[in-house]
Structure 1
């Protein structure tokens, strides 16, 4: 299934007739609709020169977390570490910002352009410990495709 999704992601990013934000939204929708345990899918981007992330396109429940300071929560930590962060159980994380009481796990993968961390893809899951190394590699692929259109 991931190979099929990869082809669909590439088709979305290569569709230059559609705005970048629309393509990012299409990617969020595609992932949320096709991977059972991806309950919230969104992009956060560096907010200009400020040490914070700003919410971009997303699919899933509305969130109050439209701005996240670097270092705060899982997303803010990835903005500083530049490394993937897989959280099997959000309740076990001290520096976790709860978006919903239903969220059990989270994965955040940084998005790089020319070696600079400019944002990330963030996935919340209502399923305990669902993320595997396969998810990490897949989301790295998604971000590499997205980087081509930013």
Structure 2
């Protein structure tokens, strides 16, 4: 399915009035994982109140032990500090990488902003090296802009 087709489906899911926010986010995770071959794990992490840590939110893929990630640790923790997109073509080349699975080869993390504040991020792992392109980055920025409307 093309990113353009997925954009409409993401919008449809997120603007369904009778669904709780976490259920909408879970549906988005499954939509992306099920329709983009190289998206092997899709999840959201959110800032834990005033603490400098991220908490795992809805996700689709293998279970993870990384339910809490301190700011600065791993790719997700670095994005929480930098407020910048982070595309990792080869996770084995990263010194500050937290391995979730030995099958993961690349990762993309896009921060989620609400009224200018980084409240979380979408995190995607791929079992393919160098899986993510500028098109993925742009698409996931769109997803997060739509998700931000829920907050």
TM-score w.r.t. the length of structure 2 is 0.99
Unaligned segments of structure 2, at least 5 residues: none
Partner Cα distance (2:71, 2:5) in 1: 34
Counterpart for residue 3 of structure 1:
4
What is the match of residue 139 of structure 2? 138
CA shift for structure 1 position 88: 0.2
Q: Which residue of 1 aligns with 2:108?
A: 107
Provide structure 1 residue ranges, at least 5 long, that are not aligned to the other structure: none
- 3-state DSSP of counterpart to 2:125: strand
| 4+ aligned runs moved over 3 Å, structure 1 | none
Per the TM alignment, residue 16 of structure 1 is displaced from its structure 2 partner at its CA by 1.2
Cα distance in 2 for residues equivalent to 1:36 and 1:13: 22
Task: State how far apart, in whole Å, the 2-side matches of 1:16 and 1:139 are.
Answer: 22
Q: 1-side partners of 2:134 and 2:147: how far apart?
A: 20
Q: Does the alignment pair 1:129 with 2:130?
A: yes
**Cα distance in 1, alignment partners of residues 43 and 107 from structure 2:** 12
Output one character per residue of 1:18-56: Cα deviation in whole Å (capped at 9) or x when no partner.
Answer: 000000000000000000000000000000110000000
What is the aligned partner in structure 2 of residue 90 from structure 1?
A: 91
CA distance in 2, matches of 1:44, 1:16: 23
For residues 33-52 of structure 1, the aligned pairs below 5 Å read 33-52=34-53
Aligned positions of 1:66-81 closer than 5 A: 66-81=67-82
Give the corresponding residue for 1:23: 24
When the two chains are superposed, the root-mean-square deviation of aligned CA atoms in Å is: 0.3
Structure 2 equivalent of residue 62 of structure 1: 63
